[in-house]
Structure 1
């Protein structure tokens, strides 16, 4: 490993009793591993749910799975270089199991996940709320151009890449009528991506502040009527039901927001058959989607107001302040370790 100025790093370790800053020994990267100095991490809604007790997670652990940083050390058998600025995937896959061989590496039978692993396990530096993170073999890391600001690049590893996977599942939105349910970070990103490809994009959300944000990315508040494609990022059973009933002939509904138990939604099989309807789900994403996310943000970082969606970062010492939901006009809090 290249000589580092410190042999320990600081990390914000979360447990049910709160967040504690700890010093952690810097590991020696093994084969295929990268040690990355974290420049900025954004706070995904799933982390807020974890801290609020609405989502099970190992404790203690280092949370945070949306981040950007620079490679400071690496083991053998890597395709990167010291100093590269990268974002990385949420999932680390084995590459050998039946799911990986079928192309579902995000659902690897032995999957490990950034920001979701026990601090007391064999991968303590697994989250972005730390000065350094160790990326094991099986993580996809994608180089980000320096001209893309940290606050724009960091969400690529979760929100943006997930939207790229949802768009692939839906098919080309060019020239089509699109409904996006939920104007959080994923919904706003979907609005922007579909608008860039020439779609007519309608957006639904109960909060006027979010609808106004969506306008700035090419969305129009929903006015009803049939649609060709619909995306649900809200996780609301009512929104899913309404979107399903809006699909025109040959329409597709992509579900990406239903990541917790909730009410069931009924499907009329005859309507699906006669309408040639498709309903599919997307959870996490593949490495190609992360590459597409970086390409998309690189194209649009200076033409769309991505930076306005992310709050000014706090330091690790103040990280407890970001574990409350941000104002609705701000979609991501941020930490700068």
Structure 2
């Protein structure tokens, strides 16, 4: 069977045992390793196993972890196809078809987003309800390119979606720039807020957020929609201004004294009035100083959720006496469960146009210019930079 990959087309599933030919050939931008430019690799055919899907990518966005990998700041099994934030349409299905997270049968031509991770569903962690930390986890944009799974990341014209991957239908009328980050930034924030709200309610709470990048801005909007009064801390004035457009009640500069005009203490008063006390804090910046500041700032019974600390760094020094006497909870969030991707898409469908999400995606580059796109993303001029395959 041949799929003409000029625009998404509805096609018949491949016959049993047969592969899918893509014309013109699918292209994957392969990263050979630190210090090397990406190379275009043609993938003229894909063999779909039962439950697999082939998706033509509409738009991909560059996540901070992609930048860390290319910079050599994190280990990666090169060669690989980077990218794990994207949206696209299904152009072929393996035998038996595929289903979304809610049991909906995926249709040819359907617009979807998919999880960054593929859990096995069988290991002890999956059975414990932790599929995001599956013992046999595979992650899009993180695995070494291999025969049979060449289209394994978002920096390509197509993605080969493996059976068992959580997939969620995406609204046709929502901009691709809004939807693409759902499979990382938005779903991760949904997981972080769920982790916090399991300890203390968000409605009416004063919530502290460190970092106003893509995750931070998303967290502001989602927490605000949940009834929280949000205080954002970020050293960048432009990012602080962006946080206000996403609903932050107040912003602060972590470089200044706590009790100064732009300090955290003053921002908490502006957000909640005198006597206001934060009960929830999200650390999304990855900085050691933010972790300590947030832990000191939350009230008795409060919760600190760590999300940004995804590489080795300075230890978080905690006096056990403070945890005990203040009844504090510290939680970590890494990856997310399928329900969080559902929550992410539902939130964007309902609120994606009420907040300036589309404007957070700055320049859009052709897929062939992925190295230029990564260079632009590394400047931090905008929370996201995009790649458009065709």
Taking structure 1 as the reference length, what is the TM-score of the superposition?
Answer: 0.97
Deviation of 1:206 after TM superposition, in Å, equals 1.1
The one-character-per-residue Cα deviations of 1:230-252 (angstroms, maximum 9, x if unpaired) are 00011111100000000101100
Contact map agreement 1:10 1:24 (CA 8 A) in 2: yes
Match of 1:207 among 225, 233, 236: 236
Match of 1:283 among 334, 356, 364: 334
User: Which one is further off, 324-333 or 212-221?
Assistant: 324-333
Q: Which position in structure 1 is the counterpart of 2:384?
A: 332
> Is 1:155 equivalent to 2:181 in the alignment?
yes
Q: Which position in structure 1 is the counterpart of 2:202?
A: 173
Q: Which position in structure 2 is the counterpart of 1:319?
A: 370
> Is 1:68 equivalent to 2:87 in the alignment?
yes
Structure 2 residue ranges without an equivalent (≥5) = 6-21, 100-105, 253-263, 269-276
Cα distance in 1 between the residues matched to 2:147 and 2:202: 43
Q: Which position in structure 2 is the counterpart of 1:297?
A: 348
The 1:213/1:177 distance shift into structure 2, 3 A limit, reads same
Cα distance in 1 between the residues matched to 2:119 and 2:95: 18
Cα distance in 2 between the residues matched to 1:301 and 1:230: 23
| Aligned residues between the structures | 337
Cα distance in 2 between the residues matched to 1:265 and 1:282: 16
Contact map agreement 1:230 1:253 (CA 8 A) in 2: yes
Contact map agreement 1:309 1:329 (CA 8 A) in 2: no
Deviation of 1:301 after TM superposition, in Å, equals 1.8
User: Which one is further off, 245-254 or 217-226?
Assistant: 217-226
Cα distance in 2 between the residues matched to 1:289 and 1:57: 26
Cα distance in 2 between the residues matched to 1:259 and 1:195: 26
Q: Superposition pairs for residues 1-337 of structure 1, below 5 Å? A: 3-4=3-4, 6-7=22-23, 8-16=25-33, 17-77=36-96, 78-79=98-99, 80-171=106-197, 172-219=201-248, 220-222=250-252, 223-224=264-265, 226-324=277-375, 325=377, 327-337=379-389
Deviation of 1:121 after TM superposition, in Å, equals 4.7
Taking structure 2 as the reference length, what is the TM-score of the superposition?
Answer: 0.84
Deviation of 1:170 after TM superposition, in Å, equals 0.1
User: Which one is further off, 319-328 or 48-57?
Assistant: 319-328
Deviation of 1:273 after TM superposition, in Å, equals 1.3
Structure having the higher Rg: 2
The 1:193/1:178 distance shift into structure 2, 3 A limit, reads same
Structure 1 residue ranges without an equivalent (≥5) = none
Contact map agreement 2:46 2:148 (CA 8 A) in 1: no
Cα distance in 1 between the residues matched to 2:284 and 2:223: 14
Deviation of 1:327 after TM superposition, in Å, equals 4.9
Cα distance in 2 between the residues matched to 1:92 and 1:4: 27
Deviation of 1:3 after TM superposition, in Å, equals 4.2
Cα distance in 2 between the residues matched to 1:154 and 1:296: 13
User: Which one is further off, 248-257 or 24-33?
Assistant: 24-33
Cα distance in 2 between the residues matched to 1:15 and 1:328: 24
User: Which one is further off, 325-334 or 74-83?
Assistant: 325-334
Deviation of 1:125 after TM superposition, in Å, equals 0.8
